[in-house]
Structure 1
Amino acid sequence: MSNASTPARDRLEQILSRLDARGGEDRAYVRLYAENARAEADAADERGRAGNSLGPLDGKIVSIKDLVDVAGEPTLAGSVIRRSAPPAMADAPVLARLRAAGAVIIGKTHMTEFAFTAVGLNPHDPVPGNATDKSLIPGGSSSGAGVSVAEGTCDIAIGSDTGGSIRIPAALNGVVGFKPTASRIPLDGTFPLSPSLDSIGPLARTVADCAAADAVMAGTQPDVLAARPLTGLRVGVPLGLLLEELSPEIAAAFSASLDRLSRAGAQIVDCAIDDLIGRLRQATRIGSIAGLEASRIHAAWLPDDAAPVDERVTAPLRRRLAVSDEAIADLLQTRRTLVAEMDERLSRCDLIALPTTPIAAVPITSVETDEAEYDRVEGLLLRNCQVANQFDLTAISLPVPGLARPAGLMLMGRNGTDEGVLATALSVETLLRDC
């Protein structure tokens, strides 16, 4: 992609030309808004010439996940069953805020059906191969978001994260992905997966761009982010199950990252959370929170055996329909208790560090037809990331340099510490980049 100092219209045309050259082979986007984007880019350039910039997002080229409402069209959420849905009456608030900040909305990106799976496959659309190697999975459910940022067909992508759906594709494609505290950004006008766990957030090539998009969507002032010093920072490492089954390369990269943090003045401390994770696992033996809540959202079509929906979605959701509302209410109460206990536990450190995923991207062919391997890979991709959603935390994934296949370093913070996590991530980003 051209330098950001290039006029927005010129950068947009370069991207549209790249996408057009692919013909029917482009898989990251499911819909383009070329003419409207041209008008938005021209307006941003005119403001720039007049010295009337709207801020750091003015003229930035932004993609949005296929679950964000755009006025006048149905919101498909990656599903053919939604093609007959009524058109959205208005843009989602997050989209309206992006437009008001001068963002150039280029198109909607590929996602897994109803955002329910994490590998990146959707039977209705060709898989967008990983930006670094098209034979590898992109990660999901914000699959096209991760690919579009990493390949340079947008500056910032907007995704959703219910169990890692921003951070997984960010890690696997080598970009930054930020999951805000769930209550920080309005979910109105975005198709839900699990209202208790859903978050809307950005992916970008830099922490600064993520922070600017996050601030705009949250309705706060997108001021220039000041890096938080690492000296004296208490970084908790949860030894135990979240560090099991790491690939050798990711284990070595994580160890090296901790060493760099330590040499930069951070204090690495133990932070045991396996007991809290274990108690939540016990409580969710009736079904995951996401699956249980999604079964209610999709109850109207789930009994229809002919519904054209991914079997990886229908099968688990149908099982969850049998769970009573009372049992779900009890589970959510248990979760609230555990969220409070996790918050107290994390008060002993400034943030938590983990590998975003224990493994890097695997070949698409390895999971397309082998259900056991698909389940193994998906379980590993979700394992570390979903902790932030389950316990109502905020988290960011930063690309780790020097690996044959991309991987991420995840920093997790307590509920509501979003700006502090972003400020720390800015320093860690520089630390990783300079080493």
Structure 2
Amino acid sequence: MNDLHAARLSLQAGGSDARTEIERAIEISQSPACAHVFTRTMFDEARQGAAEANPQSRLAGLAFTSKDLFDIDGQPTPAGSVVLSHAPAAKADAIAVARLRAAGGVLTGRTNMSEFAFSGVGVNPHHGTPINVSDNATPRIPGGSSSGAAISVASGAAFIGLGSDTGGSIRIPAALNGIVGFKNTARLVPADGALPLSTTLDTVCAMTRSVRDAITAHEILSARLVTAGTAPLATYRLAVVKNVFFDGIEPAVAAAFERTLNALRSAGARIDEIELPELADLQSINATGGFSAAESHAWHRLLLERSGAGYDPRVAQRIVRGATMKAHEYIDLINARRAWIARVETALASFDAVLSPTVPITAPSIASVAPGAERDDEFFRVNALLLRNPSIVNMLDGCALSLPCHAAGQLPVGLMLWHAALHDDAVLAIALQVERALQNQ
């Protein structure tokens, strides 16, 4: 499947045109592969956008999708819920949507998501659950919360899936669907026009089909140029953190990760195994509930009072936990996080990036975690496993990229490259080299 760069080169060479590409995207969007992917489509507007597209623009009239929590001018912003389906229409596009449009992207629709972005599983009881593209025999979870955005990219319906990442909501579905997801340092992309989950942790970012496309998407969203050098892998010093990230890991994920490390070492990479004892502090730091519960409750408390019966019970359960956090506990949490970030940054200062499994499991079946109280225990077990590794980077205020590292014919497994805040360009540069090494093995 072509990535954005290849499609754009084809357009410029006259091998295709934007209208043909949009019709192809619409056809896939309407196929069984995209069942439950969209909460609202915009195909007529997309056709008009493609007809007017400039093939020399960065996105050249090619398709992108937008997670349902971003404002789109003239539409309500339901964020995967039913309680906001009749909210007042937005008066302008979210900044991220506006930037993708200004770069020549054509928006084909709003994508499904975990309600209010509060789950890494991707199940939605209101709009159905998008189906992972990797297994035709067993319907598997897409990962969340940017579930529909991931399937739109993995199925071929879009080249960029705009989403958000609060605890892994870009990287989890990217890993489970075998595509690329880049979580930039949060402050680099404005969140204006995005319905919040946690104002401390929320990051506006995207999924793509390749690392080079991830760089393009990030440059557009952040309105800056990435300095991605071409130095060989041997130039960089990489780390593997052995504690926490591998707890409860599935054998298939462990095998894919070890095979990846061997391939990178064969390509010249210097990889050191380290302990990061600071990770053990996270449980006590978040003991009073964490940022997502407290900050989501602050936003939702009045809506819950009015319309709580319309919420996904699993989401409401997590939000109401924030009601018990006291003001001094929230301030203590902010201060503890700041001190923890400083300690971790010091521990990682001599490394250019860290390598970890994005998530420790492959995608379980939708049936095992589908809505229903009898499956709640399994849902929350899976949710915790999916969120554990990527959420560490959000607490660090860091940046991370997930790219596929599984062998052909196997369920997707993600490799996560990460570091502290504002190491984005180094992570992206290394990811380019890692992607090339894995493609050549």
Q: Does 1:170 align with 2:180?
A: no
Q: Cα deviations across residues 25-67 of structure 1 (Å, max 9, x unaligned)?
A: 72111111112111221222xx33xxxx123x22221111111
1-side partners of 2:63 and 2:369: how far apart? 32
Match of 2:253 among 239, 250, 253: 250
Q: 2:48 aligns with which of 39, 52, 57?
A: 39
- For residue 85 of structure 1, what is the aligned residue in structure 2? 87
Number of equivalences: 425
Identical aligned residues as a percent: 40
Which residue among 72, 75, 89 is the counterpart of 1:73?
A: 75
Question: Taking structure 1 as reference, are residues 228 and 414 closer, same or farther at Cα in structure 2, changes over 3 Å only?
Answer: farther
C-alpha distance after superposition, 1:142-182 (max 9, x if no partner): 00011111110111111100000000000000000000001
Give the Cα–Cα distance (whole angstroms) in 2 for the partners of residues 347 and 222 of structure 1.
21
Distance 1:308 1:209 in 2: 38
Q: Distance in 1 between matches of 2:251 and 2:32?
A: 36
TM-score between both structures, scaled by the size of structure 2: 0.93
TM-score normalised to structure 1 length: 0.94
Distance 2:174 2:197 in 1: 20
Pair 1:417-2:423 in alignment: yes
Q: Secondary structure at the match of 1:279?
A: helix
1:316 corresponds in structure 2 to: 318
Q: CA deviation at 1:304?
A: 4.8
String of CA shifts for 1:198-243, please: whole Å, max 9, x gaps: 10111111111111011011011478x5544201311111111211
- Large movers: runs of 4+ above 4 Å: none
**1:154 equivalenced with 2:163 (yes/no):** no
2:116 to 114, 127, 130: 114
Structure 2 residue 222 is matched with structure 1 residue 212 = no
1:275-424 aligned at under 5 Å gives the runs 275-304=277-306, 306-368=308-370, 369=372, 370-402=375-407, 404-424=410-430
Q: 1:239 to 1:16 in 2, by over 3 A?
A: same
Q: Is the 8 A contact 1:216 1:222 kept in 2?
A: no
CA distance in 2, matches of 1:322, 1:244: 30
The alpha carbon displacement at 1:407 in A equals 0.9
Partner of 1:16: 26
Match of 1:26 among 17, 21, 35: 35
Structure 2 counterpart of 1:233, from 223, 236, 239? 236
Secondary structure class of the residue paired with 2:341 = helix
User: CA 1:413 to 1:306, structure 2 compared with 1: closer, same or farther past 3 Å?
Assistant: closer
| Contact 2:150-2:177 within 8 A present in 1 as well | yes
CA contact (8 A) 2:57 2:104 kept: yes
C-alpha distance in structure 2 between counterparts of 1:386 and 1:235, whole Å? 20
1:222–1:350 CA distance, 2 compared to 1 (3 A): closer
Instruction: Report the residue type matching 1:291 in the other structure.
Output: A
Q: For residues 308 and 94 of structure 2, what CA distance do their matches in structure 1 show?
A: 31
State whether residues 81 and 307 of structure 1, in contact with CA within 8 Å, keep that contact through their aligned partners in structure 2.
Answer: no
The structural deviation recorded for 1:94 is 1.0
Deviates more, 1:160-169 or 1:369-378: 369-378
User: Which blocks of at least 5 consecutive residues in structure 1 are unaligned?
Assistant: none
Listed as ranges, the gaps of 5+ residues in structure 2 are 11-15
